[in-house]
Structure 1
Amino acid sequence: MVVDKYDDHLHLSEFERPHDRDLAQHDDWLELMRVSAAEALDVPVSNTFLKRRGMQRGKAQHGRVSQERYEIEVEENGLKFLVNLSDYVDTGLFLDHRETRMMVCNESLDKDVLNLFAYTGSFSVYAADGGAKSTTTVDLSSRYLDWAERNMELNGFTSAAHNYVQSDIREYLSSLPQEELFDLAIVDPPTFSNSKSTEQDWVIQEHYPELLNSVLNRLRPGGIIYFSTNYRRFKFDESFIRGDCREISKQTVPEDFRNKRIHRCWRIEKY
């Protein structure tokens, strides 16, 4: 069970594990966990949400779990974000990357920043706050891209320098000219994806070298990629990458996370 606290709200995620309870007993146990977490952290039970995060088997993907659209505005390092506590397994803001977001902020001044697999655009918000010359936010989902734009607008970043592109990431990169267009890129792909709108499945272990080298081709000299994955079995071979690769996971996982393997992260500098 993972508990995330957003101001005066809680979001609990149950990760599927073997147990000896029947369905009714397990439902009772989950409700007990929800109420106990609320009481322990002095949060109203009505503000406490619980999701079941089942194992993804075959080509199954996490879908929408509610239509309630229970959204709240939260603040992180002085920036505002909309999180949805009811409708999806994830809320729209991955707390384990708050240190990485600050690193991006600190490197964004006067930079053209590319945010791939952007989800709800939190890295774009930090880049804009850090003084980026421009941001380009790319995601396949129109819903998440709209959410990203709302997050940007919430923080006052509404100029034409901030662009939003709905596209498969590989198709987007292929559509770009073979030119040096960006200074800083964030690449935080899913482990696996098989969207109906794309012809090829995405498998991070197979496709990461091609992806990262394609991004490096669009970076100016000295350009930086922040690359991250939460795939626990991921094996990174820097010999495949045309850049100086340095793992920075110990610096990006926040101190208050007991699970120090919640993600891995690399800072890659173009040769």
Structure 2
Amino acid sequence: VDRYGSRLHLVEHERPHPRGPREHAAWLEAMVRTAGDTLGVSAADVFLKRRDPGTGQLILPGGSASLGSEPQGSASRAARAKPGIDRPATSAGEAIVNEAGLKFLVNLSDYVNTGLLLDRRLVRALVRELSPAKRVLDLFTYSGTSAVCALAGGAESVVAVDANDFHLRWTRRNLELNQWGASAFRLERAGPLEFVRSTSSGSMYDLVVADAPAELPGWDLQRDHAELLARLMEVLAPSGQILLVTSSRRFKLASEVAGVWAREITRQTVPEDFRNARVHRAWRLGASR
């Protein structure tokens, strides 16, 4: 259960249970009602992403109908969850929330990712702390939260990169919410490897933020991260750093990237209110001297 301002965001995690379909639907309804009553949130402001009992995939909230009346596995009132899907958002799921004096647009109903992962809030704080007078590259920008934090921290410049036009529009909305005009940042539509392969070695960055998903079209974190790190070394300032973050539990950082030091900082970036201490992993990396 995550709270975004006056709204609640609930995600059902797969766990073995003895309940049948109808009993489980009633149990989920009771969980939604209890969470809302306990935290003083109206039912209309509680958004549940539940699991399809046949496939295990998340089904996104698509209406106010009760779960008990919705046919199991039906998508008539819900959409299959696809991260980064480029389709119109419903106004019901959108909200502007505040974090550390900054504004962020979240969407609690239409996508797997809300646009502001709460387990990343210490990562965002670190980006802000590391950014003063820095030239920042934000790869996999998604909704642009790292770009916003870099500018809030006093970055000299920010380049935000994503292969998805929808993500770049979301990033622009978040930057504009915080009163930064187009002269303060640059948005680039490209995959991470495509971008760094085409970037001149003379283009120096002091800080690179890469909150990397496990897989995207044309991208596999385990397969591609060594090349990405090696190429980033070519555009990183001598004293620059890379902040690498991922939710992938299977990821293993390559040890063969020549000239790169790495220090895992996961214990410093996972907030204490997350029971799962491996909800993400994080590293700081730089060029070995």
Query: Does the TM-score normalized on the shorter chain lie above 0.5?
Result: yes
Q: Secondary structure at the match of 1:160?
A: helix
Partner of 1:15: 13
Contact map agreement 2:81 2:112 (CA 8 A) in 1:
no
Contact map agreement 2:229 2:257 (CA 8 A) in 1:
no
In structure 2, relative to structure 1, the CA distance for the partners of 1:52 and 1:215 (3 Å cut) is farther
The reply on whether 1:161 has 2:184 as its aligned counterpart is yes
One of 44, 47, 50 as aligned partner of 1:46: 44
- The correspondence of residues 1-271 of structure 1 with structure 2, limited to 5 A, is 3-52=1-50, 54=56, 62=82, 67-69=89-91, 70-194=93-217, 200=218, 202-240=219-257, 242-271=259-288
**Count of aligned pairs between the two proteins:** 260
Structure 2: 5+ residue runs without aligned partners?
Answer: 59-79
**Superposed displacement of residue 55, structure 1:** 5.2
Bigger shift: residues 137-146 or 240-249: 240-249
Partner of 2:70: none
The amino acid of 1:90's aligned partner reads N
Contact map agreement 1:205 1:234 (CA 8 A) in 2:
yes
Contact map agreement 1:16 1:52 (CA 8 A) in 2:
no
CA–CA distance in structure 2, aligned partners of residues 50 and 6 of structure 1: 13
Contact map agreement 1:225 1:269 (CA 8 A) in 2:
yes
Contact map agreement 1:66 1:86 (CA 8 A) in 2:
no
**Superposed displacement of residue 68, structure 1:** 2.2
Per-residue CA deviation, residues 58-98 of structure 1 (Å, 9 max, x unaligned), is xx972559852321110111111011111112211011111
The amino acid of 1:25's aligned partner reads E
Structure 1: 5+ residue runs without aligned partners?
Answer: 195-199
CA–CA distance in structure 2, aligned partners of residues 159 and 68 of structure 1: 26
Tell which structure's C-alpha radius of gyration is larger: 2
In structure 2, relative to structure 1, the CA distance for the partners of 1:67 and 1:135 (3 Å cut) is closer
In structure 2, relative to structure 1, the CA distance for the partners of 1:20 and 1:241 (3 Å cut) is farther
Q: Identity across aligned pairs (percent)?
A: 42
Bigger shift: residues 229-238 or 14-23: 14-23
Per-residue CA deviation, residues 227-255 of structure 1 (Å, 9 max, x unaligned), is 01111122223342532211000000011
What root-mean-square deviation, in Å, do the aligned CA atoms of Structure 1 and Structure 2 show? 2.0
The alignment's TM-score, normalised by the length of structure 1, stands at: 0.89
